[in-house]
Structure 1
């Protein structure tokens, strides 16, 4: 017997090539602030300003993986830290989202971390564990 399955995310907005400029933990939720919002996933694919709120985050299972400069291939050096530690260490940053994936109670964002006064960027993955809703707050 063959069982075929293809996951199709039905998210209303895409974060690809969008920049997160701030993350704030508040009342067991995580709010993501964007430099220029995000893109609608359906025609006319309009860019809208807004934020995302992930409700009921579980900080015990939210991690950040910081990897090599410039996303180089081959051997790499990396660091795993809690999201709380990352937010304390990097108060001023921008994170360009290249890939996003969603699964059972997790949102995973991959991309590049940019820091002030630093020309290079680092590859970064953020895993957010949440049990509530993902709320897109837009200026539409």
Structure 2
């Protein structure tokens, strides 16, 4: 029997508990800025200012999901929209990242989004065929 291991992804920085304050679209590149940078995942665990870029974003496969209630189990309603449309409507969101998931050409963030004074549980799904680049201003 042959075993093949998919190693865990160890990103150099985390956006956990970071507040996304701006999305910038430059062609097929998405730049995502936070209020207080990123947290290094290796010692000494600093928190440098910086942002994340996603290259070769496939906008037709990138989405935002907004749920009607936060933190509850059970039935809910919600809205699914293209990420590019969400950015056009909300270029400066208030999105607090709780979790990050990395997959094949995909990065997903879950957390809480405040829109027009309403609190939503939400997910941002970015399908990118290019690199995810952490840019620090150190």
**TM-score (normalizing by structure 2):** 0.91
The answer for the alignment partner of 1:78 in structure 2 is: 78
1:111 paired to 2:111: yes
Cα 1:75–1:61, aligned 2, differ >3 Å: closer, same or farther? same
Query: 1:97: which partner in 2?
Result: 97
Count of residues in correspondence between the two structures: 138
Rounded to whole Å, the distance in 1 between the matches of 2:105 and 2:6 is 19
TM-score normalised according to structure 1 size: 0.90
1:6 CA displacement: 6.0
Distance 1:7 1:121 in 2: 36
Let me know the Cα RMSD of the aligned residues: 1.7
Name the residue aligned to 1:126: 124
Give the Å deviation of 1:109.
0.5
Q: How does 1:42-57 map to 2 (within 5 A)?
A: 42-57=42-57
Counterpart position of 2:11: 11
Structure 2 residue ranges without an equivalent (≥5): none
Partner of 1:68: 68
Q: Corresponding residue for 2:33?
A: 33
Gaps of at least 5 residues in structure 1 are none
Change (3 A) 1:2 1:73: farther
For the residue of structure 2 that corresponds to 1:73, the secondary structure is coil
Alpha-carbon distance between aligned partners in 2 of 1:26 and 1:71, rounded to the nearest angstrom: 34
* Cα distance in 1, alignment partners of residues 9 and 28 from structure 2: 25
In 2, Cα distance between equivalents of 1:72 and 1:90: 25
Equivalent residue number for residue 58 of structure 2: 58
Separation of aligned partners in 2, 1:104 and 1:38 = 23
